[in-house]
Structure 1
Amino acid sequence: METDYILGIDLGTTNSLVGVVDSGFPILLADAEGSRLTPSAVFYDGDGNVMVGAAALRRRALEPARTVTSVKRFMGRREGEVDQNQDGWQPAYDLKALGVDAVQVSSEILKHLKGIAERALETTVNRAVITVPAYFNDAQRQATKQAGELAGLKVERIVSEPTAAALAYGLDKMEERRRIAVYDLGGGTFDVSILEMRDGVFQVLATAGDTRLGGDDVDRALAAWIWRQMKVSDEEFEMIGVSKQSRLMTAAEEAKKRLSVQDEVTVDLPFFEGEKSYQVIVNLADFNKLATPLIDRTRAFCLRAMSDAGVKTEDLDEVILVGGSTRMRLVREKVAQWFSREPNLSQNPDEAVALGAVIQAGILSGALRNVVLLDVTPLSLGIETFGGLMNVIIPRNTTIPCKAGEMFTNAVNFQDAMLIRVLQGERELAKDNWELGKVAVPFPPGPKGSARVGVQFALDANGILQVLARDTATQTDTVLEIQSAAVDVDDAQVEKMISESVDHAFEDMNERVWTEARLKAEELLGAVEEALGLCEGMVEADEVEGIRQCAANVEAVLKSGVHDARVLKQANQELDDATQTLAVMLVERAMEEAIERKLS
C-alpha cells in the first residue's frame, strides 16, 4: 500500500540518514540496531549478495577491495574521467572490477534507507527528497536522481545540503528576518552558503564550496602521519597495501573523533605487521598541525560567499556548523575567527541536513506548511555566440526554479543552421568554460540577420537544466536533454574556474571587448567596400581616398597581432565618421528606388 509519506534523505559521503514527518513532527528513523546514522558503505561478496551500512563497514578491514565507501565523490563523473589519485584519494576498491558504477552503489544505500523507513512506518514509501552538496553540478544532481529512481523512489526534489540545514535551524524562527552562514564540512565535500530568512522564506544569497574536500582528507593525512611514526618501513603511505591503508584510515578516523573531546589519544594497531603490534600517541597539537592546511582551504570559500552575497561578518545573525567533521575543535576555532563570532552549536551537525530534508519533504506532502525554500545556481549558464564569446542567460547565484531566454540571429549569409553550445562557467570566452551539451537548430537559409532563434533556459527546483531552442519562422522546437555524463570537467575544477575568472578578469574583459570590436570592424569593412561599389562615381575622389585610408588603418590594427581593443575601437570610430556622407547617400538612394517601385 502506497502512502502520502515523502522521505527526507541525506545521502552523505560518510554517513546517510532517513526521516519523515509523522503526526506533524519531523523525525529521523533508526535502523534495527537503534542507530540513525547509516554508514554510506556497500559490500559486494562476489556471489551477487550485497551488504549495506554498518555490516558492510565491518567487512572493509578484511576485504577492502569489495567494500565501497565515499562513492559520492564519483557521482556524475565519466568512467576514467579523472585519475582517482588526483586529490590524493586512492580507494581500495575498483568499481569497474566490481561490475558496478557510482549510481548503482548509491542506489543500494538508498534502498537500505527506504527499507529502514518502511520497517519503522510499517508501510510502503515510494517518494523522497534527497540532499546534495550545493556545489554539485547538473550531472551530479542527475546521477543522484537516477540513483533514487533505481532504488524504487520517485525523487520529488533535490535540495542543497546547506539550504536543508538552514531550513532545519529556522523552523521555529520563521517570523524573524535573519542572515545565516552555513558552514558544511562533511566526509567528502565542503559547502558554505549565505542565506536570508524572512517571513517563512529561505533564500540562498550565495554559495561556494569544493566537492573534493572533507573529513576523509583529514583522516588520510592523520593515517599517513601514524604510518610515519610507526617506522615499519621506508615506504610512503600511498605505496603500502590497501589492507594496511584501510586499517590505518579506520584508526585515524576513530582518533580524530576522540580528539574532539580529548587532548591526547593512543592508537592501537594489534598484529599490524604479522605478529607485531604498534601503539602511536597522537596529541591535539600534532593533529591540528596536520589538519590546519586542509581546514584553511575552506577560508577562501567563506570569503567568496560573503562577497557574492554582499554581506560582511557583522551583517550575519548566525553561523551554523553542519557535517560531522565540524566536531573538530580546530574547525570551530577557525570558523569563529573567520566570521568574528562563535558558531551556533544548537544543531546536531550529523543530523541537521537530514532534518532539513525531512522538513522539505513534509512541506511537499502537505504535512508542514508556511515555509518556502529558494535555492540558487552556483555557476552562470549561457551559450557561445559568434566570435567565441560566452553569452550568459542565467547568471550565477540566480534563485531557482527560474526561466530566462534571448533571441539570436544568423551571423552569416545563407546560414541554414545554428549550433547552440550550452556553457557553464564564469569566463568571458566560450573556450574557457564548460560545455554541458550542444544541439543544431535548422532553419531556412537566408541573408545575414534574417533568421530568428529563441533560446530558453529552464532550471527546475532540483537545479537540473533544460534548454529549448525555437525557430520563430517555423515554430519548430528543439529540446536539449543534458545527460548525466555531459560535463567533461572534474568537479574539483569548479573552484579553479571561479578563481581564474577573478585572476584573469581584466585580460578576459579586454579579450571580449577586442572580439566585439573585431567583429564590428569586419562587418564595417565589408559594408564600406559594398557601399563604395554602389556609389561609384557619386563620391568625391579625395573623400573616397580618405575612406580607404581609414579602412586600411582598421585592417592594419587587425593584422598587427596586438589585441588592443582601445586602438581598434578608435580606428572603427574614425572609419565610421569618414563614411557618414556615404551612408546618407545610400539611404537617399534606397528611398528613391522605393519611390520608383511604388510609382511604377
Structure 2
Amino acid sequence: MAIIGIDLGTTNSLVTYCAGEEAIVIPNALGQHLTPSVVSRDEDGGILVGQIAKERLISHPHATAAVFKRYMGSKKTYRLGDKEFLPEELSALVIQSLKADAEHYLGQPVHEAVISVPAYFSDAQRKATKRAGEMAGLRVERLITEPTAAALAYGIHLKDADTKFLVFDLGGGTFDVSILELFDQVMEVRAVAGDNYLGGEDFTEVLTAMFMKHHGLKAEEIEPQTQALIYKQAEEAKRQFASQRHAIMTCPVADSLLTFEVTLEQYEEASKGLLQRLREPIERALRDASLKVRDIEAILLVGGAAKLPFIRTFVSRLFGKLAYANVNPDEIVGIGSGIQAALKERNASFSEVVLTDVCPYTLGTSVAFKRSGGFSESGHFCPIIERNTVIPVSRMERFFTMADQQKLIRIDILQGEARLSRDNIFLGELNVPVPSKRAGEEAVDVRYTYDVNGLLEVEVTVVSTGLKKSLVIEKDPGHMTKEEIAGRLEELSGLKIHPRELQDNKWLVARGERLYEERIGEERGEIARLLRLFEEALDQQEPKQIAEMKQQLRDIFDTMEGQGGL
C-alpha cells in the first residue's frame, strides 16, 4: 500500500512518492508539479482547487481563498459564496486534490500520507493540519517539519559526509531555520526557530505597497478585483527579479493603465525591515545550538522566496559562503516528505537513514511565587519542556499548594517563550481536586509528553491520592492570530503602573523579557529571578536599591549579549 509525501504549502503544494531510491514529484491534472494552494467555488457551488482557482482570485475574489495556511488552528473563517470554511477545511480540499493526482499516477488507492508542517507551527496548527489530512480521507500518522524534510532530501545526496548545516526555509507564508548535524547516517536536528507570519507573500506585499504609493492609491478606495490584480502583478514582478535587475508592473485602475518600474536595489531597500526579521530566528537557532556562524559548514536554501537574489546575497554575506542549490527549492520539502514516507514504509533503499527532531516551542505552566512580605504573586511561566529538546520526550515537574485548605490545583497548559504566563499561548487547562491541608503539604506531578508529530499530552497525578487526570484539548484550542497578539500587547503597553512608567525602567524590563525569550536552561531561570528582584525594588520605591539593581542588570545583560549573537 503506497504512502505518499505531501508538502502542504502556503502558496503552492505538491505530492511525492518514492520508487526505489528516487523520490518522484507527481504531476497534477495540468501536468504541473506545483498545485497552487487556492480554493474557489463556482456559480453552481462546485469546488475548484489549484491553478484554476488561482485565476479566479482576480475575477471572483469573493468566492476564492488563498494564503489560508497562515491561519491553520485558528477560528478564522473564509466565505466562499454562501458557505464558510475554516482554514483546515480549505487545506483538506487541497490535500484531496493532491490525493486524487497521486491515485491517478500510481493507479491504486492511497490511504496514508506524511504531511510537512512549518517547524514553528504550534500544537493547535499541527493538530489542524492532521485533521485536514483526515478530512481528505488520509491516515496521517506522521507529520514532518519542513526544514527537516528538506534536510532529509539534502542528506540523501551526502551519504558519506559528516557535516553541520543550516536550512533556511522561506516559504510563501512562513519562515523556518533549522540547524542539523549529519553523522554516521544519523540526521540530528540541533535547533529550530522561525516566524509563522513571515514569507514570500510579505515580499510580494512590499511591491504592492510600492506600486500603490507611487500612484497615490489607497486600498479602501479601489475594488477587490483591482487589488487582486495589483497583487498578481507584484507576484509576477517578484518572479522577474529571479533573473533580472528590474521589473515593470502594469495594471488597469479605473479608466487608466498604470505602470511602475522598480529596480532590484529599490526593492531590496524597501524590504530591509523583512530582512532584519529573517536575521532574528537565525541568531536564536545558533544560540540554542551553542554554535557560531563559522561552525556552519553548509547552507541549504528552501522555498520559492529563497530565489530572490537579495535573499541569496543576504544569506551569503551572513555566513561567508554560498548556499547549496542543487535541489529545486520549490520541491525539496515534498521530496523529503516522500523519503520520510518511504522510511515509514520500511523501503530498503532508505533503511540506513535515522532522523531525530526537536520540540520547536517551550511548553510549560503557570505558577505563583512568594514575594517578600509574605504575599504570593501568580502568573509566572514555568517551562517543563524547553524549546529544541530532542523528541519524543516526556518531562515531569512537581508543584505544591500555595494556600491553607486549598482544595483545587489548576494547571494551565501554555506554549511560548515569555516570562509572564499572560503573554504565552493558552492551550488548555486541568483542574485537579486535592485534599484540604496546610499550604505546601499537597502536591501534584505534572507530566508533559511531546511526540514525533509535535503533539502534546498532559497528565496530572495527585501525589497523596494517586488521582490522575489527562488533558483533552478542545477542537480549536486558544491559538492567537497575529492580530490578536498585537492587540493584547497594545493593551498591556497601555497600562500605567507607577513607578514602572519611567522609560529607563521599562526598557530594562523589556530587555530582560526579550533575553528571557531568547535563552533556555539556567540562563533563563537567572533572568527570571533577577527581573523578579528588580520588580520588587520598583514596588518598594527605594531609589538607592533601584539604582543598584539597574546597574547590576545592565552589566549582566551586556555580558549575556556579548557572548551570544552572530
TM class by shorter chain equals: 0.7 to 0.9
Percent identity among equivalent residues?
36
Q: Distance in 1 between matches of 2:243 and 2:534?
A: 59
Report the equivalent of 1:510: 530
Q: Distance in 2 between matches of 1:63 and 1:245?
A: 12
Q: Distance in 1 between matches of 2:28 and 2:19?
A: 17
1:435 partner amino acid = F
Q: Distance in 1 between matches of 2:76 and 2:30?
A: 36
Report the equivalent of 2:514: 501
Tell me, yes or no, if the aligned pair for 2:40 and 2:80 is still in contact at 8 Å: no
Report the equivalent of 1:464: 455
What is the aligned counterpart of 1:284 among 264, 284, 291? 264
Q: CA deviation at 1:459?
A: 0.3
What is the aligned counterpart of 2:395 among 389, 401, 404? 404
Report the equivalent of 1:428: 419
Report the equivalent of 1:12: 9
Q: CA deviation at 1:500?
A: 3.7
Q: CA deviation at 1:40?
A: 0.4
How has the CA–CA distance of structure 1 residues 567 and 258 changed in structure 2, closer, same or farther, with 3 Å as cutoff?
closer
What is the aligned counterpart of 1:139 among 124, 130, 136? 124
Deviation track 1:122-152 (CA, whole Å, cap 9, x = no partner) reads 1111111111111111111111111111111
1:381 to 2:363 alignment: yes
What is the aligned counterpart of 1:455 among 440, 446, 449? 446
Report the equivalent of 1:210: 195
In the alignment of these two chains, the number of paired residues is 507
2:333 partner amino acid = V
Q: Distance in 1 between matches of 2:326 and 2:227?
A: 35
1:58 partner amino acid = E
How has the CA–CA distance of structure 1 residues 448 and 503 changed in structure 2, closer, same or farther, with 3 Å as cutoff?
closer
Q: CA deviation at 1:182?
A: 0.7
How has the CA–CA distance of structure 1 residues 559 and 126 changed in structure 2, closer, same or farther, with 3 Å as cutoff?
closer
Q: Distance in 2 between matches of 1:287 and 1:514?
A: 44
Q: CA deviation at 1:484?
A: 4.8
Runs of 4+ in 1 over 6 A off after TM superposition: 496-499, 503-507, 563-568
Tell me, yes or no, if the aligned pair for 1:513 and 1:565 is still in contact at 8 Å: no
What is the RMSD of the two structures over their aligned residues, measured on CA atoms?
Answer: 2.9
Q: CA deviation at 1:309?
A: 1.2
Higher mean C-alpha displacement, 352-361 vs 559-568? 559-568
How has the CA–CA distance of structure 1 residues 283 and 479 changed in structure 2, closer, same or farther, with 3 Å as cutoff?
same
Q: CA deviation at 1:333?
A: 0.5
2:463 partner amino acid = T
Report the equivalent of 2:239: 257
1:416 partner amino acid = K
Find the residue that maps to 2:318 and give its secondary structure: helix
How has the CA–CA distance of structure 1 residues 491 and 268 changed in structure 2, closer, same or farther, with 3 Å as cutoff?
closer
Q: Distance in 1 between matches of 2:45 and 2:304?
A: 32
What is the aligned counterpart of 1:162 among 143, 147, 168? 147
Find the residue that maps to 2:262 and give its secondary structure: strand
How has the CA–CA distance of structure 1 residues 167 and 100 changed in structure 2, closer, same or farther, with 3 Å as cutoff?
same
Tell me, yes or no, if the aligned pair for 1:95 and 1:101 is still in contact at 8 Å: no
Larger-Rg structure: 1
1:32 partner amino acid = A
Give the alignment of 1:218-229 within 5 angstroms.
Answer: 218-229=203-214
Q: Distance in 1 between matches of 2:385 and 2:234?
A: 44
Q: CA deviation at 1:167?
A: 0.7
What is the aligned counterpart of 1:361 among 321, 341, 344? 341
Report the equivalent of 2:163: 178
Report the equivalent of 2:507: none
1:277 partner amino acid = L
Q: TM-score, normalised by structure 2?
A: 0.83
2:137 partner amino acid = G
What is the aligned counterpart of 1:63 among 60, 63, 79? 60
Tell me, yes or no, if the aligned pair for 2:64 and 2:80 is still in contact at 8 Å: no
How has the CA–CA distance of structure 1 residues 225 and 410 changed in structure 2, closer, same or farther, with 3 Å as cutoff?
closer
Give the alignment of 1:479-498 within 5 angstroms.
Answer: 479-491=470-482
1:437 partner amino acid = G
Tell me, yes or no, if the aligned pair for 2:79 and 2:85 is still in contact at 8 Å: no
2:217 partner amino acid = E
How has the CA–CA distance of structure 1 residues 429 and 262 changed in structure 2, closer, same or farther, with 3 Å as cutoff?
closer
Tell me, yes or no, if the aligned pair for 2:93 and 2:136 is still in contact at 8 Å: yes
2:447 partner amino acid = Q
Q: CA deviation at 1:447?
A: 3.4
Report the equivalent of 2:24: 27
Tell me, yes or no, if the aligned pair for 1:380 and 1:394 is still in contact at 8 Å: yes
Q: CA deviation at 1:383?
A: 1.7
Q: CA deviation at 1:503?
A: 7.2
Give the alignment of 1:548-567 within 5 angstroms.
Answer: 560=540
What is the aligned counterpart of 1:328 among 308, 324, 331? 308
2:367 partner amino acid = T
1:248 to 2:248 alignment: no
How has the CA–CA distance of structure 1 residues 415 and 514 changed in structure 2, closer, same or farther, with 3 Å as cutoff?
farther
Q: TM-score, normalised by structure 1?
A: 0.78
Q: CA deviation at 1:483?
A: 3.3
How has the CA–CA distance of structure 1 residues 126 and 418 changed in structure 2, closer, same or farther, with 3 Å as cutoff?
same
Q: CA deviation at 1:34?
A: 1.4
How has the CA–CA distance of structure 1 residues 450 and 184 changed in structure 2, closer, same or farther, with 3 Å as cutoff?
same
Tell me, yes or no, if the aligned pair for 1:107 and 1:147 is still in contact at 8 Å: yes
How has the CA–CA distance of structure 1 residues 410 and 255 changed in structure 2, closer, same or farther, with 3 Å as cutoff?
same
Report the equivalent of 1:417: 408
2:465 partner amino acid = T
Q: Which runs of 5+ in 1 are unaligned?
A: 81-92, 519-556, 569-600
Deviation track 1:356-406 (CA, whole Å, cap 9, x = no partner) reads 111111111111312222221222111222332322211121111111112
Q: CA deviation at 1:226?
A: 2.6
Deviation track 1:218-268 (CA, whole Å, cap 9, x = no partner) reads 112212323444x3xx43246422111111111111111112102233334
What is the aligned counterpart of 2:352 among 345, 370, 379? 370
Report the equivalent of 2:494: none
Tell me, yes or no, if the aligned pair for 2:410 and 2:429 is still in contact at 8 Å: yes
Deviation track 1:304-329 (CA, whole Å, cap 9, x = no partner) reads 21122111121111101000011110
1:452 partner amino acid = A
Report the equivalent of 1:295: 275
Q: Which runs of 5+ in 2 are unaligned?
A: 370-377, 490-509, 518-523, 550-566
Q: CA deviation at 1:348?
A: 0.5
1:333 partner amino acid = T
How has the CA–CA distance of structure 1 residues 49 and 565 changed in structure 2, closer, same or farther, with 3 Å as cutoff?
same
Find the residue that maps to 2:261 and give its secondary structure: strand
2:13 partner amino acid = S
Q: Distance in 1 between matches of 2:245 and 2:93?
A: 38
What is the aligned counterpart of 1:350 among 298, 322, 330? 330
2:514 partner amino acid = S
Tell me, yes or no, if the aligned pair for 1:224 and 1:237 is still in contact at 8 Å: no
2:177 partner amino acid = V
Q: CA deviation at 1:440?
A: 0.7
